[in-house]
Amino acid sequence: MKNLNGGKQMKDVWLLPAIAPWEKSCGKHPTQKPLRLLSRIILSSTKENDWILDPFSGSSTTGIAANLLNRKFLGIEKEKEFLEISKNRRLELDNKTIFENYKNKL
């Protein structure tokens, strides 16, 4: 956590930019979180190759952050519309340019 904060102790209030348009490239979920927020949580609590479960995965921001950070992801979501967004977001990452571009924005 210190490494993510310029060597200083991370505060308990995180100031991050609001969700950006590029994060909604595959459609909108009403409570979608910024990728940066999920990536920070994942980095603070998991190791590479760990499995991460989100049983209410929405548009799978947790999964996208997990895959960008070399973690495995299992999501559960009851709405087909959000599963479709999740699937398309995951497929986007198969494009190396997009993968690197998103990773650099975390």
Question: Under the rule (CB under 6 A), what is the footprint of ligand SAM?
Answer: 31-33, 54, 56-58, 61-62, 76-79, 82
Tell me how far, at minimum, the Cβ of 73 lies from ligand SAM, in Å.
11
Tell me how far, at minimum, the Cβ of 91 lies from ligand SAM, in Å.
19
Question: 34-71: string of b/e by CB count within 10 Å (b at 16+)?
Answer: bbbbbbbebbeeeeeeeebebeebbbbbbbbbbbbbeb
* Residue with smallest beta-carbon separation from ligand SAM: 58
CA distance 98 to 49: 21
Tell me how far, at minimum, the Cβ of 57 lies from ligand SAM, in Å.
5
